[in-house]
Amino acid sequence: MKTYLGIDIGSLTIKFVLIDEKANVLYWTYERTGGRPIEAIQKGMKKLKDWIEKHNPQIEIAGVGTTGSARYLAGVIVGADLIKNEITAHAKGAAFFVPDVRTVIDIGGQDSKIIILENGVAVDFAMNYLCAAGTGSFLDAQAFRLGIPIEKFGELALKSKNPTTIASRCTVFCESDMIHKQQIGHKIEDIVAGLCQGLVRNYLANVAKGKKILPPILFVGGVSENVGMRWAFEKALGQEIIVPKYNKVTGAFGVALLVKENPPQKTKFRGFEISDMDIKCDSFQCKGCPNQCEVIEAKINGKIIARWGDRCGRWSNLKYE
């Protein structure tokens, strides 16, 4: 059976999605990278291999696509046929579930984006810049500080009857305001609900500024799991917020779909053996010109497979195996 693998490796988490020729999701995982992307890829591949052996040994990987901020690294290691930016991948994935979707809100570990679609293709987008307030990492940090498991964070917000206002221009001010509110005796659920509302306010003012948010609106990415954030978005926009199936892995699903649409003649996939190989990345400073680019080289079992990071192509254009 022919299948297509999509890998989305972001700042905090790694997502694997395996789809068949009819775009059914056969397998998906969502795991934290713990700041070690290479190990996370290897672990994820091992898990996928075990699953395939157990469930359906006939599965053959006919194409691999990578996306997310570590897409080049992941693409080199697994041997990807397609390396795509996360905006196109998310637009593709979201439009599959709701073909007439107009707006996609994607909030991940470190960045938040808004994608405007028309007829199933992205026509406009914006990403947060200068500031990562309101993304997954910050919610994570706050949940940890309050001692609430992140999975329960949203439910707690829904219990609030009287959300308090939290300054949300910047995470630093946001946190000090939260502490201030807790010190003067606000209930914890009111603070959590206020935080969700503040983050949505920040998103609408900084990321979605000026863009027309038309329904249907899809909410994807890790933060879309948080019911508190869903509630806050619905309240702020006065619209229904749809959280599609596989909302946490939309990017990986999207890139798998993109590979499926343009299947390679022969996949560049290196095989599941990479999970047991010794993969290392090294960097050095090129002295070729005043630019002094930091060139990164990836090695599998001591053999250089790729170099990147140079501006002129002196290293990246060399032929590697």
> Between residues 112 and 142, which has the closer beta carbon with respect to other proteins?
112
Smallest gap from Cβ 120 to other proteins, in A, equals: 10
> Between residues 24 and 119, which has the closer beta carbon with respect to other proteins?
119
Classified as helix, coil or strand, 215 is: coil
Q: Are 159 and 224 in contact (CB under 8 A)?
A: no
> Between residues 280 and 311, which has the closer beta carbon with respect to other proteins?
311
Smallest gap from Cβ 91 to other proteins, in A, equals: 8
> Between residues 1 and 127, which has the closer beta carbon with respect to other proteins?
127
Sheet with 241-242, edge to edge strand ranges = 121-127, 112-118, 103-107, 217-220, 241-242
DSSP of 20-55, one letter per residue? ETT--EEEEEEEE-TT-HHHHHHHHHHHHHHHHHHH
Smallest gap from Cβ 161 to other proteins, in A, equals: 38
- In degrees, to the nearest 5, what angle opens at C-alpha 318 toward C-alphas 312 and 320? 140
Smallest gap from Cβ 304 to other proteins, in A, equals: 21
Distance CA 24, CA 141 (A): 35
- Residues at the interface with other proteins (CB under 8 A): 69, 84-88, 119, 121-125, 127, 129-130, 210, 212, 289-292, 311-313, 317
Smallest gap from Cβ 122 to other proteins, in A, equals: 5
Q: Are 63 and 4 in contact (CB under 8 A)?
A: yes
Per-position b or e across 193-215, b if 16+ CB within 10 A of its CB: bbbbbbbbbbbbebbbeeeebee
CB atoms within 10 A of CB 166: 25
> Between residues 58 and 119, which has the closer beta carbon with respect to other proteins?
119
> Between residues 130 and 184, which has the closer beta carbon with respect to other proteins?
130
> Between residues 95 and 166, which has the closer beta carbon with respect to other proteins?
95
Token pair, residue 35, equals: 């700041």
For residue 312, is it left (φ>0), alpha (ψ between -120 and 50) or beta? alpha
Smallest gap from Cβ 52 to other proteins, in A, equals: 31
Smallest gap from Cβ 242 to other proteins, in A, equals: 22
Q: How far is CA 319 from CA 87, 102, 150, 255, in A?
A: 30, 43, 46, 26
